[in-house]
Structure 1
Amino acid sequence: MLRTAERSASFVRQKPRRVIDLAGFLDSNSMRQAARDQERQTSTVSHAKKFRITPALTTVLGLFVLLTAGAVLVVQAVISRDVVRELGGELIDNGMDGLEAAVAEQLYAIRKTARYTARALDMGTLSFDDPDTAKQYLFGSLAPLDFVSFTLLIDADGSGLMVDRGPGDGTLLSETFSVNLDEPLVAPIFNRARSTYSSFWSRPIFLPRRDNTYLLYVKPLHEADEYLGSIILGMSLHRMSDITRYLSDDDVTVFLMEVGTTEIIAHPGLNHHFEELSPDNVLVDIDDVPDHFLANFSELRQIGNRTYDLNPRDKLYSGYDENGEKRFLVLEDQNSRFRGLPVRIGVHFRSDFLEHSINQLSSAAITGLGLLGVSLLGAGFLARRIVVPVKRASAAAKDVAELNLAKVEPLPASLIRELDDLSHGFNSMVAGLKAFNRYVPTSLVKRLLQEGRTETPPEEREVAVLFTDIAGYTSLSEGMSATETAAFVNHHLSLIGAEIAKQNGTIDKYIGDAVMAFWGAPETLDNPAEAAAQAAVGIASAIRKDNVERVERGEKPVRIRIGLHIGPLVVGDIGAPERVNYTVIGDTVNIAARLESLGKEIDPAADVIVMASDEVVGALTHNLDIESIGPHKVKGRDEPVTVLRILP
């Protein structure tokens, strides 16, 4: 032992000499090498090319603006034309759909009228043998059909009753008549009616007696296999032209053309051009229509549908009117919505509707180039406005890094929001560091800054834990829908959460309808048990008040169990590195949970039962009604727990 002590003393005496020798060695070798390395590094850095922030930022911003704006202009020139034309195609398709719907609406009214008239005959409300009743019925059915010229009820022998709209002054006329069904003019119509049960439209037919061309909608009447007659509604070219006049305006002209031909059936300007109609000239030829642009249809240039991505059923033409203004014409082949009416709809309109946006692209490109030049000037100005405060912040940041806070001057405000926020944030940080530095040694402040501590490491504290749970939740929620169950649980948890918040508790988690909360962390409390007990009393009061309202609504009251315990726990960030929770773990949590569960054994019928450990009750300072339950052994704990019941 003595020799060992002597050797230790000798070692201690020799140690300073060895340290000095080592220092000398480092100074003469390693330190010189380190100095040479530092000198080379400094020399390399000093010879590296440095850029001034103002010209560098101006150049970068300018190039960015130039490249971005130039790319935008190129993309606009290349893509915008196609986009505008696609939108133009959608405009045409939507417009044609709207016009078709407007015409189809009138045709639907005709079909409905014929169908209801046939039903009236089938039910016996109308009869061929009661012309007076039939006349009144036809008067009423024709009145709202503004674009129908006449309605005809004719039997299988050709005898019938006709109600005519008359001269158009609101007077409806009626007459009985007889038709020779073998007459070449009408024989095809009645022969078809005998052989079919379906309604149909006739081709245009000139009626000499009425001196106009008509399209007839025929509804055959059959009983079993016997042909009884027909219901016929007639639309003259005059009335159909009224429809196109109703749909047209100063810029858009709507017309109807016969399927498979270029003969015009309806046009807003046809009302005074029917004098030349005859059995040999049933329709108005397109060359004779009082519309200069449409009359030159054969000279119009057809445009491919891909140009405007049109519907394949439509054809697009372009040309010029008598004033030299460009117009477009859209003509469809045939429309199934017209249910056999042998017409196709067409429309022509000013070219501005489609080309206005395209013509503006050139002006937009020129304007964009001008704005690009202004943007480059603005980039230089903006770069300077950014550089000045950044320079000041850079110089101040060096002093902050070395904690030379006395040398740091406040950064000035800036008109740029981000830079202004930087100034305010930087100044606030420096002020905080100065205040912090008054209470903590500079060396410790540097260490904290270097470590950048942002975590809450676990620590042991005295914590009070509260558990709540609904008794008989399964039977209580039985019969509820998912929405009703969610609403019920949310309302219940809101009541409990409000009382916990009043006592500054921390809700750890929701477990279905159960709640776990604790007191004593993160804030340190003088008496966590008192706060937890007061929260339990508040929860009991809130539940009972809510139960009164539930009973008044005819709902079952809610019964709840509460468990309280206090003891040492580990509190802090618990979990995997990529996902942590601020929570508590330890035996105290388990005991609080077991006390809550124990309530079902002590008083299973209670509306609210609060079970607390002796440690909780012993820490209370307010007088509460307490009932001793005695020691109970709880699951997971060898020693029994002294249990008391708080009677709120």
Structure 2
Amino acid sequence: MARVRTTVSRLETPAQASASDSERRRWSIAWLLPLILGALVAGATLPVVLVGYMGTQDVASRLLRDRGDLLVEAVVTPIEGLLTPVSEAMDGASEALGARRGTTGDPLQLGSFVESLLAANRHISGIALVSLDGSMRRWSRDGERQLLVDDDGLQFRQELITKAAGGRSGTWSSPFVSYASGEIVITYRAPMRRDGSLLGLLTASVPLNGLSPRLSGLGSEFGVVPFVLSNRLDIVAYPNMNAAPASDDTPVELPTIHSIGDDVLAAIWSAPRPTTTVKALHQAQTHWTRVNERSYTYFYRELPLASDAKMVAGFYVSSSTTERERWMASIVVMIGLALLVVSILVSRLVARSLARPIVSFGDASRAVGELNFTAPDLSRWNASRISEIASTARAFSRMAAALASIRRYIPNSLMRRLIDLGDQSGRSQVREVTVLFLDLEGFTEFSRNRRATEISSYLNGIFSQAGPLVEQYGGTIDKYLGDGLMAFWGAPIEDEKHALRAVECALAIADTLSIHLRARKDVGSDGCRVRIGLHSGDVVVGDLGYEGRTDYTIVGDTVNQAKRTEESARGILPERLAVIAVTSRTVSLAGVTKESHFLRELSSKQSCILERAASR
């Protein structure tokens, strides 16, 4: 009992536990552990998702940029491949003509030179030589030759000569529609000089209608709409654009972005918005706009031509075709977040599975703290694959079983009261209490020649009814004395009504055991008679013994007087199966009166027999 006393005295009382809870907030491991694991998973996953998002966004942006650069280059390359050789050939030819004296004045030599130039450059449809006076000789690929002196284009040619006089290099004209062939044509004008003086202009006409079919194939292959613009508005090349019909006298204008019937191309320069999902292109430019509630992205760059017009080549594409690249980063984030949610849910399940045995251990600990040693059922954790959980469950079960065994020797009421009192419970002090002794009269004769099992069964039958009544009425069983027991009221918890509770308990025991003993006699079994003695007075109460073995008990003359009071009832009222002797001190403290109870004085004058009034 000493070791149990030492343990239980250190347990928190309900009041102490309540005070501790008020001082600090407690956290339930059933949700704290999932929260911690979830936070760890989130802390480990979110940076990865963020890095993945940024990396994927960068890769997608670079892919779109590189794709835009390559496709713009694919649109520009045919134009440069068409025009650059012509400009180089014409620059060389103009320089050669300027250096050869007499060639420009000899029609045969000039014609032979031009024909060889046409043969060497298959993209040129015609070559013309403009003199300083504005007259022009023209050679076409089909062999036609013309001399134009005073025609409608004279003034225009004179203006070209004036411009050429102030420049050093050749230039391209703005693209235009030839009224003769209906083709879109661009001309290159190379000035001829000798000794720094201008001799005239050598021009070459290059048809551009072949660009549109090439753009059609490019657009079909890559799902884009390529274009070539002049002065931002006029269309030079566009998929499936046909040549204008030839006209001898009516000029034909280039189609514009507003007349071609393409609303998206027409909106290229209206409300442009900078793109944020595409990195800056290496050579081209890009922007996007909305047309008919849909967004389109434009990629383009200016052609590096010395020209009267600013030419722009590029393509546009529906933003929906680039959604996969643009959404790639978002998809990575969504997948990452989905994995994060799954990871958190899994970690929550794992954490809850880990917390469940801890919660069970906590519930079991509370049950043990309430002296309920049969409630903790940890058998399901004995087979846990986690060794610490399994060993803890087995150890706790063994502890509960050991405490349950010890409890048979220690009254529950005493243990609870000692726990409530804490460290103050074992301190010795003088206290007024009421002591009860119960003895079985005639037990010596009863036990003679009987088996031990029969004797213990008889005694347990008596004590199993008397003991719970003592605890029910707030008493403490001090010890079992062979064929009797000793109990007291008023300690360890002070109780002003200790005498009254002891009297009521004695009457209840007498009534209960009378019925029990009478039932045995009715079936022919003999037995003993119950004597009960009560006395109230001061005692010394507390822990008595040594460090290895301590009892919580009471000592003093009050104990001896209670025993003598019980013995004073020997032979009194032999017809009664249970008799109660009580001292006048106890009668006075309990407030017992003749109206409520029957009192019969004994010869000692210090005690009397106590019965219920109804039993007289």
**TM-score of the two chains, using structure 1 as the length reference:** 0.41
The answer to which structure, 1 or 2, has the higher relative contact order (CA under 8 A, 6+ apart) is: 2
**TM-score of the two chains, using structure 2 as the length reference:** 0.42
Larger radius of gyration: 2
